[in-house]
Amino acid sequence: MPALYLTKMYRYLLIDSRPRRMVAVLPSGLSIPLLTAVLDSLFTRLHPPTVALLSSPVATAVAAGLRSAFVVDLGWHETVVTSIYEYREVHSGRSIRGGRMLVEQTHKFLAKHLGHPRPENTDESKNQKQVLSFQECEEVAARMVWCKPYKSSTEDDTTEAKSPTSPLPTVQEHEESESHDTQPAAVHPRTTIIPLSSCTPPTSLELSFDSLAEPCESAFFDSQFSPSCFDDHELPLHYLLYRCFLHLPVDVRAICMSRIIFTGGGTNVLGLRKRIFDEVSHMVQERGWDPVFGKGPELLRANPKLKRKGTRLATKGPTASVGSQQQQSGNENVPSSEQDGVWHDAANVTPEFDPVEEQINKGMNKKPPVQGQMRAIESLGAWSGASLVSHLKVPAIATVEREPWLQHGAAGASKIGETEAPAVTTKSQHRQSLGAGGLMRGSAAGTPWTLGVWGAT
């Protein structure tokens, strides 16, 4: 497949005779055989002197102007969630729920309304007859399917339950000529007509807009099932994001949760990004960041026998004076948390004045970074980020030269731990070695070259 695409690009792309450096934006989970096919096609068809490899989540974060981000790629085959901290991929999770499953659920939805119900047997459901063509199902999924907004249980309770002591609504006066027998017109659900030409015979379906949200609900969320019903590779999207947040350290999570980026073709579904964001926000407010949840942990936290009586309580202000503490020590009614003497509240103590740091920050508009709150950010995409990195002449994760690749291929690449460090390294050279998933790893001329994260396994 890469050779076919590159052949068409070579026919219709105008390239001058000057040597051009090429940047390949690839997912970090790409296997070495596919990477070998891509590099062979690039070097044999387009003849670039070097090809720089750049991770697509890192390029997406660069296009958003960020150093750290939480990239959610809603792709065709799967959904990949990647956590990036200082241009490094620190954690990655994936689920098979993507555009392909959405098209399959759309086909099942249309087949059900056409009178072809899904078989109950699992073996027969896998070999279900194709009622509609793939192109038509994909067009319906792209143009008509939408996602319902998040609706919490508290909203249903507030609409149904009303206070008995609330005053009655004020009745407005009407003219005597108006008839009292008039009733409000019934609200009919809005419908649409979908013409289907690939089925036999061709027909048209009249469906309501509310029912067109069923394929997206079953493809990405499956709210009717509990989380224990899913395997690790088929988690709903909101559970996948929440689990990836739990695997991050506290400082990395605080930065990444304020820089969530949605990308991929699945983001074109109307209302899908908002629904995922609201679902994850509700899970964070309800469960916090404790990976253990359920009835047992809740009963354990609510048990009064397990609460320590002699714990020290945090005060609102700084440490109390010694004289006031001596007066309080003579009082027998003082609780045990205040009988332990002087203790320092490190969270509320004002920092000491540093004249050197004051001179450094003088004249700089230094704002504290936004962290610790859920926030979504737009990005221009991986292609724009890679173009920005290449124009700024920033070293990529790995740079592959044409001659060594044509001679040795992927076998000539050294692993990251096998590269020999120079005897004398300057401070700038030491800063550029950010590790396997960083942005600043390149191969100089005459030194061993690596494939970065793609050659680590």
- Most confident range (mean pLDDT) of 96-100, 386-390, 426-430 is 96-100
Higher pLDDT, 184 or 227: 227
Instruction: Return the SS3 of 260.
Output: strand
pLDDT at residue 418 in the model: 46
pLDDT at residue 4 in the model: 56
Amino acid sitting at position 219:
A
Higher pLDDT, 390 or 277: 277
> Each residue of 249-268: pLDDT tens digit?
999 999 999 999 999 999 99
Instruction: Return the SS3 of 321.
Output: coil
Rounded-to-integer distance, Cα 398 and Cα 26, Å: 12
pLDDT at residue 421 in the model: 39
Higher pLDDT, 95 or 172: 95
Q: Are 100 and 77 in contact (CB under 8 A)?
A: yes
Percent of the chain with pLDDT over 70: 68
- Mean pLDDT within 152-159: 53
Rounded-to-integer distance, Cα 81 and Cα 70, Å: 7
CATH 3.30.420 for domain 2-61+381-455, yes or no, is: yes
Cβ atoms within 10 A of the Cβ of 284, count? 16
211: pLDDT strictly greater than 80? yes
- Mean pLDDT within 8-22: 64
pLDDT at residue 286 in the model: 87
* C-alpha dihedral (335, 339, 344, 345), degrees to nearest 10: -10
422: pLDDT strictly greater than 80? no
Rounded-to-integer distance, Cα 54 and Cα 180, Å: 72
Higher pLDDT, 259 or 48: 259
pLDDT band at 318 (very low <50, low <70, confident <90, very high): very low
